[in-house]
Amino acid sequence: MYDLIIIGAGPAGLTASIYASCLGLKHLVIGKVIGGQMILAPDILNYPGYDEINGQDLSNRMVQQAKKRGGVILTDSVINVSQIEEGFLLKTEQNQEYQAKTIILATGVERRKLNVPGENEYTGKGVEYHAKWGRFDYLGKVAVVVGGANAAAQTAVQVGHSANKVTIIYRGSDLRCDEVWKKHISENPKIDELYNSSVSEIKGDGQKVTEITVLTKAVQNQTTSKNLAVDKVFIEIGGVPGSALLIPLGVTMDPGGFIAIDEKLATNVPGVYVAGDVISHRYSIEQITSAVGSGARAASLVFSFLKQQTAPTLWGSSQIRRG
Ligand SMILES: Cc1cc2nc3c(=O)[nH]c(=O)nc-3n(C[C@H](O)[C@H](O)[C@H](O)COP(=O)(O)OP(=O)(O)OC[C@H]3O[C@@H](n4cnc5c(N)ncnc54)[C@H](O)[C@@H]3O)c2cc1C
C-alpha cells in the first residue's frame, strides 16, 4: 500500500514525485511516455532558469532529479482505477496491480490531429501543435493556423508578431474565440481568415513543409480546392484530456472532459488529486510551468490529506484539554 500513486510522468507527475519524496510520502510514478508532451518540444524558451532548452533534455533532468530524491518511475499504462476500503486499486496494461491511499492524475492532454496526408511526416518539420512564445521566432515565415477557438486565435496572434503572413483556416463561418483575440487579429494586417475551409493535405520537400491544399465550401455546397505555399502549419483543434480513468470514481469534469477542481486543487472525491494539463482550463494554461506548479501543489495537498486522516485523535485531545 503506497501513500500515493502518481499516474503520468510528464512535468506535472515528475514534479509531484519530487515534492512527494521531499515530504516523505511512499509513492510510485506510473507513466506511459516518460517526459510526456515535453519531449516533443524542440526548444523551450519560456521555462525559468533555462534561456533555451530542448524538451528531451528538460525531461531527462526532471527524471534524474525525481529519481535522486527517491522516486520510483515505472513505464506502464494504468487501465483501471477503482475505490477500495483503504484507498484505490490500480490495474495496468502490463497486468500489474497497485494499491494507494491517494492518487494524483497527471495524464495531460492528447492533441487532436487533422488526420490528413503529410501531417505525421512533417510533424516537427513545419507542422506544429504548439507555437513558441518568443516574439521573433517566426520572422519572415508564412504560416497557417488551423482551428477557430481561443487556442487557434491566440496562436495566430503570437505567430503574427514576427511572421510575414498568418492565415487562420477554420471550417466554421466565424471565429468562436474571445472578443479580445478577435480585436488583436483585426488589428494585425498580416493575419487573415479563410472560413468554411479545411486542410486536406500537407506537402513538403522531404525536409520541411512547402505547401498545403485547402478545400473551401462555396455557395450551394460546392467545394473549391487551392494550394497555398507555407512554411508553418499550426494545428490548434483542441485536445482530448486523459481524464477517462477517473469516470468510474465519479470525479466531476467540465464540459470539455477536463477535471473540475475547487480552489484548493482538490477534486470532489476525497484522496483524488490532479495536476497539469488535465485540469480544467480555469486553472491551467497548458504549459510546463503551470504543470510543474500544480504538480507541487497536488503533492502537498496529498501530504495534508494524509496527515488529516490521522489527526482527529490529536484534535480531539487538544480540544478536551482546552475545555
Ligand atoms: C510540440 C510541443 C511543444 C511544446 N512547447 C512548449 C513550450 O515551449 N513551453 C511550454 O511551457 N510548454 C510547451 N508545450 C506544452 C507542454 O509540453 C505541456 O503543457 C506539458 O507537458 C503538460 O504536462 P503534463 O505533465 O500535464 O502532461 P503531459 O506532458 O502530457 O504528460 C502526461 C503523462 O501522462 C502519461 N499518461 C497518459 N495516460 C496514461 C495512463 N493511462 N497511464 C499512465 N500514464 C499515462 C503520459 O504518457 C505522460 O507521461 C509543448 C507541447 C508540445 C506538444
* pLDDT tens digits along 266-291: 899 999 999 999 997 777 788 899 99
The CA distances from residue 201 to 172, 204, 209, in Å, are 19, 10, 11
CB distance 286 to 109 below 8 Å: yes
**Domain-wise residue ranges, the chain:** 2-111+239-317, 127-235
Closest-lying ligand 1 atom to the alpha carbon of residue 276: 26
| Secondary structure in 3-state letters for 36-57 | HHHHHCCCECCCCCCCCECHHH
- Break the chain down into helix, strand, coil percent, rounded to 5: 30, 30, 40
Rounded distance from Cα 38 to ligand 1 centre (Å): 5
Q: What is the CATH number of domain 127-235?
A: 3.50.50.60
Q: Is 177 in the pocket of ligand 1 (CB under 6 A)?
A: no
Rounded distance from Cα 8 to ligand 1 centre (Å): 9
* pLDDT tens digits along 191-203: 999 999 999 999 9
* pLDDT tens digits along 96-138: 999 999 999 999 998 899 999 999 999 989 999 888 766 677 9
Tell me the residue type at 279: I
Closest-lying ligand 1 atom to the alpha carbon of residue 14: 25
Q: How far apart are CA 246 and CA 234, in angstroms?
A: 31
Rounded distance from Cα 194 to ligand 1 centre (Å): 30
pTM for this model (two decimals): 0.81
- Nearest to 59, CA basis, from 14, 8, 126, 29: 14
Fold of 2-111+239-317: FAD/NAD(P)-binding domain (3.50.50)
Q: How far apart are CA 307 and CA 66, in angstroms?
A: 23
Structure-block grid coordinates of residue 141: 515565415
Q: Which residues contact 255 (CB under 8 A, 6 or more apart)?
A: none
Q: Which residues contact 96 (CB under 8 A, 6 or more apart)?
A: 76
